[in-house]
Amino acid sequence: MRIHHLNCGTMAFGLVDHCLLIETRTELVLVDTGFGLGCVREPGKMVGPSRFTLGAKLRETETAIYQVRKLGYDPRDVRHIILTHLDLDHSGGLADFPEATIHVHGPEFRAATATPTLSERLRYRAQQWEHGPKWMVNEVDGGQDWFGFTAVRDLPGLPPEILAVPLAGHTRGHAGVAVDTGRGWLLHAGDAFMTESTIDPEQPNTPFLVQVFEQGAIVRDAYRENQRRLRELKRLHGHQISIVNSHDAAVFARWTGR
């Protein structure tokens, strides 16, 4: 499988919105969407006041659909979207791919669509899915072991080389996405950590401003525990697994040369 790394939203402090476009044998799969065309054209509705907090630039050239076309593909070939979570900077482009099946972890779907808490109302933007996407909700029950993590493997329509790996903490149903590239695994850990130094297995370090931001984690104990587990994963299996995340610009630059 071929993987393209896309920045689907530049934000304050040089943060990026690192999404993946995966070419399978028959179709395209997106991991997260970043900000979409609706966010650019109707920011008040689709992003709301959080766009000022995030410092979102909202450029059409950074939307996933624009970049899919620029790569020479038909956006209708994006048949599946796997969400690490439903925060507004990760699901803003869902409406740009109305025919795609949207895979989301069960606890996340319920947190965003049932009765979110006050803090969750600030991070979820229901207008981003008011078009009525085709949800495919996966649960952790029955998942198999993946390097010590319980993995959700029953993602209908997707090849077995693509797995959802529950990484709760940042949100109640946050999940990473692991892809067997044929040359090793790539784990997109979403917002399980904000800066790569946090999961350094030898000298972990989280800058103070990042620590302040991480106070927004919905389940803090689980968040810290999964960061510890990711450090251990990197220490024991770093030769087999590469780990990226959503917002570290240095990680994105290393994979794209930009």
pLDDT value at position 22?
A: 98
Pick from 62, 6, 3: which is nearest to 32 by CA?
6
Q: What is the per-residue pLDDT for 141?
A: 77
Three-class secondary structure of residue 236 per DSSP: helix
Domain coverage including residue 158: 2-256
pLDDT band at 61 (very low <50, low <70, confident <90, very high): very high
Kindly state the average pLDDT of the residues 109-125.
84
CA distance 122 to 138: 24
Cα(62)–Cα(6) distance, rounded to whole angstroms?
Answer: 8
pLDDT of residue 125: 94
Residues in the chain: 258
Give the residue among 177, 179, 180, 208 at the shortest CA–CA distance from 194: 208
Eight-state DSSP code of residue 219: S
What's the pLDDT at 143? 78
What pLDDT does residue 115 have?
A: 67
Q: Which of 62, 66, 64 is nearest to 22 (CA)?
A: 64
Helix/strand/coil percentages in the chain, nearest 5? 35, 25, 45
Is residue 47 a contact partner of residue 125, using CB atoms and an 8 Å limit? Answer: yes
Beta strand pairing call for 149-151 and 144-146? antiparallel
Domain count, the chain: 1
So what's the pLDDT on residue 114? 84
* CATH number where 149 lies: 3.60.15.10
189, 179 Cβ separation under 8 angstroms:
no
| Token reading at 204 | 């972990």
pLDDT digits (tens, 9 = 90+) for 62-85: 999 999 999 999 999 999 999 999
Strand pairing category for 101-105 and 162-166: unpaired
Q: Which residues pair with 176 in a beta bridge?
A: 165
What is the per-residue pLDDT across 27-45, written as a single tens digit (0 to 9) for each? 999 999 999 999 999 999 9
pLDDT digit string (tens) for 180-234?
Answer: 999 999 999 999 999 999 999 999 999 999 999 899 999 999 999 999 999 999 9
